[in-house]
Amino acid sequence: MSTPTTRALSGKALAGVIRQRAKDEARELENEGAHPSLAVVIATDDESTHWYVRSIERAAEAAGIGCRVIDLGHDATEQVLANVLRDLSAEPSVHGIILQTPLPGGVRTDALVGLIAPEKDIDGANPLSLGRLAVGQPAFAPATARAVVEILDHYDVPVAGRSVAVVGRSAVVGKPLALLLLERDAAITVCHSRSGPLERHTRPADIVVVAAGRTGLVNGSHISPDTVVVDVGTNVLPDGSLVGDVDGASVNGIAAALSPVPGGVGSVTTALLLLHTVEAARQQVPLLENA
């Protein structure tokens, strides 16, 4: 008797493919005389945030995409942040804007994200982007939410007519992912810490996406055989290592597939920020082909 094998849904190869698409598109835009460019606004001393922003910078550079990091310091006021976001939204040479969290205490993130021009909102932070997704208008989804869909597509996991349970109701993953998958004809269940026993919702699902931010929240007892599990969690342990929301050891051998952390959804997310930037640039730059 052998234990069934749980397939690892690595995001690394897919991230490479998406980066290459972004690079090719960036080159095409350059040939048309446009220079796709991204701005990241940061206002924190947090080291891991700076590390993350540098990784975006490096990835953008490697793809031929301009990346301007605007570091306003940990004591930036809401007014200063607002002015910068307004300027970047109006600046024709910037095609994508990321407002990096965390922000200084007392600053209203809600008020600021609404200032990011929707056509430059490449991480779907402006509520208008979420609303447009909901009504089927063109908009950028948060890159993490789209990363889940791209991983399912990459591994040929069908979603139309199937039942997807999303654990977590955040505006960054749970809700936009539900909207993206509804658009793909899935039935969507969104459950969370207050919606009763998790397994009531996760066991009947064909696909379970976990985005709750709690280490080991989902284990083998929550999953039916042959379920596809996507782990969106990125929890930093005291020793600095990164783990997801899924107890991989207990899910392996039960689930049909599981995305690893690290090396799963996260790898794809950064690549999608680049792809969104060139997509945004393509929409903002008038086509020159027929000129």
Stretch that binds its own copies, among 13-21, 58-66, 170-178, 259-267 (CB under 8 A): 170-178
- x-marked contacts with its own copies along 181-200 as a string, rule CB under 8 A: -x--xxxxxxxx-xxx---x
**In the complex with its own copies, which residue's Cβ is closer, 19 or 175?**
175
**In the complex with its own copies, which residue's Cβ is closer, 12 or 203?**
203
Residue 113 to residue 236: CA distance in whole angstroms: 26
Say whether residue 175 binds its own copies (CB under 8 A).
Answer: yes
Say whether residue 82 binds its own copies (CB under 8 A).
Answer: no
Q: Judged by CB under 8 A, which of 4, 16, 73, 204 binds its own copies?
A: 204
Say whether residue 226 binds its own copies (CB under 8 A).
Answer: no
Count CB atoms within 10 A of the CB of residue 28: 14
Total residues found in the chain within this entry:
291
250: exposed, middle or buried (Cβ count in 10 Å: 0-12, 13-18, 19+): middle
Contact 273, 123 (CB under 8 A): yes
Task: Kindly determine how many residues on this chain lie close enough to bind its own copies according to the rule CB under 8 A.
Answer: 36
**In the complex with its own copies, which residue's Cβ is closer, 16 or 196?**
196
Say whether residue 132 binds its own copies (CB under 8 A).
Answer: yes
Of 73, 70, 67, the closest CA to residue 107 belongs to: 73
Say whether residue 112 binds its own copies (CB under 8 A).
Answer: no
Residue 172 CA to chain centroid, in angstroms? Answer: 8
**In the complex with its own copies, which residue's Cβ is closer, 69 or 187?**
187
278-to-135, 147, 271 alpha-carbon distances in Å:
24, 16, 11
Say whether residue 269 binds its own copies (CB under 8 A).
Answer: no
226 Cβ neighbours under 8 A, 6+ residues apart: 255, 256
> Minimum Å distance from CB 250 to its own copies?
23
Residue 276 in tokens: 């969104």
Residue 34 to residue 279: CA distance in whole angstroms: 12
> Minimum Å distance from CB 137 to its own copies?
6
State the binding site for NADP(+): 168-170, 234
Interface with its own copies (CB under 8 A): 110, 126-132, 134-137, 160-163, 169, 171, 175, 178-179, 182, 185-192, 194-196, 200-201, 204
